[in-house]
Amino acid sequence: MFRQWFTEATKTEQAPVEPNAMSLATVDSDGRPHCRILLLKALDDRGFTFFTNYDSAKGEQLNASPYAAMTFFWPTLERQVRIEGRVEKVTQEESDAYFQVRPLGSRLGAWASPQSQVIRDRAELERLLAETEQRFLDTAPHCPPHWGGYRLLPERMEFWQGRPSRLHDRLDYRLIANSWQRERLAP
């Protein structure tokens, strides 16, 4: 069902600018939630793949507690999908392959930015980028060891369809003993 909704979100006349934008929620070691917007980069039968800096706050949170939730919202279609599940790192080969198709500036930025770390000012970031550009002046940047993908393996998915009078449709799917069980939830 997600593939169908995602395809419709990308092909509608009023398609969102980035239909693959999603919120990703994680928890820190104190159990405090953190949420940010990321882009879905791959979808297959195993799950939903996104890429990031493994040393970032989200990377550290996923390393400590490998569960997350993501939400896609397509307001022009009055649709939302919530997904929960375990998260695992993708293979190094998958990370390398995706890294190589990124724009050069994004590849350099992955090397230059100490993501989620405090920096003095914008000039420091620009200095780090200039140093990185010099480092890779004669060679293409390869995937850094601190950067790669995660795949969320869905265990629960809720599909929400807006309806008049706030009597929305909510279909909840749970993976139980390797089989998806569907229930309808009251709005």
Q: Which residues are catalytic?
A: 166
Is 117 part of any known ligand binding site?
no
Nearest to 51 by CA among 95, 115, 114, 18: 95
Neighbours of 115 (CB within 10 A): 17
Q: How far is CA 141 from CA 8, 33, 109, 137, 150, in A?
A: 36, 34, 10, 9, 21
* Distance from C-alpha of 95 to C-alpha of 90, rounded to nearest angstrom: 7
Is 116 part of any known ligand binding site?
yes
Is 80 part of any known ligand binding site?
yes
Is 165 part of any known ligand binding site?
no
Is 166 part of any known ligand binding site?
yes
Give start and end residues of each alpha helix (H) in 32-102: 57-64, 92-101
Is 156 part of any known ligand binding site?
no
Is 82 part of any known ligand binding site?
no
Annotated binding site for substrate: 41, 98, 102, 106, 166-168
Annotated binding site for FMN: 36-41, 51-52, 58, 80, 115-116, 160, 170
Annotated binding site: 36-41, 51-52, 58, 80, 98, 102, 106, 115-116, 160, 166-168, 170
